[in-house]
Amino acid sequence: MQESNLFEGQLFDGKSSESKKVAVLVYSDRLVIHHQKEDGTTETQSWETNKLKDYQKLAKDFIQIQYGDFPLQTLEVKSETFAETFKPPVSGFQKVIHQVVHGGIITILAITFVVFAFLGFAYFYALPWLAEKSVVFVPKEYEVKMGESIYQSYIQSEEIDTAKTELANNFLKQIDFQTDYPLQVTVVKSSIKNAFALPGGHVVVYTELLDNMKSYEELAGLLGHEVGHVKQRHTTRNIFRSFSGYLLISIFLGDFSGVSATVLDNANQLHQLSYSRELESEADRTGFQTLKHNHIDAKGMISLFENLQKGNEAGNVVPEFLSTHPMTENRMIFIKDMIKKEKPAHIEHYFLEGLFKQMTVPKADY
């Protein structure tokens, strides 16, 4: 063909597998397709280039173009000149699809990177955040049962100090924590300084931490802080965040037994869950309000933090309580500011003091 914008092609109308021989005229904004029928008449179509459904360069001299709605028409042109010069201005979503499908290895690698980056963000950030927020859909009764199951699984490998546990629970009952969670304290024999809360009301305190306390106000402050985690469902939220993938699926499917199975499989790790600064501040605030409500000197919380910090500053191994409850000078300043601002009244609690002294008699070797 002599005209530079005139090419031969094959047209498939989408209704049959047979093709029609056509002449294709190329303009800046459209393709004009002529098909000469057997009766000598000519059938003409005009395809606007910005409305093309697809454009594929299958070889350097072979182009395939699709146009229209169902049934989709397909035009094939075998011409290196046509392949080099015809580049339809595809736009919008069609352009994205076209670039993905026909953009070559660089485009495919780029798209793959973006997809994996999105999946990584979703898995490590979005999914844990969503799992944590989904705790509001978990009934409190179920949270208590889950916590009990975790406690029974965890405590099997620990040695309980029964005498101190009984005293600690008597101590606990003298304090109004303003919660309907069934609170219970367990004192575990251990040379590790630690304490942690489980979902639903269980609080575990290690003897090393208890025996290093100087006053009943410290123990009240510790319990107020840990019960604060329970009341605000911090431990449950952290569990869901840590085991987010399976737990989130289980919640959406209503499979709470699946949640328990996952958590119980990891029960030995739960005492190592750490809290964010935001959750720690919330638990500190809740603990402070508990002491204020019961007229217990809130300086006990400051004393507790100072004792723990002294052990750290002395060059000893960092107490596990500090590794799971991030300690900063700001937290002590926060409590001091609360005391200065609210000026809570306090009285002497001789019965709590007596129970505390019985719990902190000189310790045996564990």
Give every CB contact of residue 85 below 8 A, 6+ residues apart in sequence: 26
- Angle at which helix 216-231 crosses helix 234-242, to 10 degrees, equals 60
Of 57, 5, 56, the C-alpha closest to 33 is 5
246 C-beta neighbours (distance < 10 Å), count: 16
Q: Where are the domains of the chain?
A: 6-97, 139-359
Residue with tokens 């040695």: 159
Over residues 298-351, the pLDDT tens digits come to: 999 999 888 777 755 444 444 445 545 656 678 889 999 999 999 999 999 999
Please give the average per-residue pLDDT across 194-200, as a whole number. Answer: 89
* pTM (whole model) above 0.95: no
How high is the mean pLDDT of the chain? 80
- What H or E segment, with its residue span, contains residue 136? none
Q: Using 50, 70 and 90 to split pLDDT, how confident is the model at 37?
A: confident
Backbone φ and ψ for 156, nearest 5 degrees, come out as -60, -30
Over residues 108-133, the pLDDT tens digits come to: 677 677 766 765 555 555 655 666 66
Q: Is residue 168 predicted with pLDDT exceeding 80?
A: yes
6-97 under CATH 2.30.29.30, yes or no: yes
pLDDT on residue 134: 67
Over residues 69-119, the pLDDT tens digits come to: 888 899 999 988 888 878 775 555 555 555 555 555 666 677 677 766 765
Q: CA-to-CA distance for 211 and 193, rounded, in angstroms?
A: 9
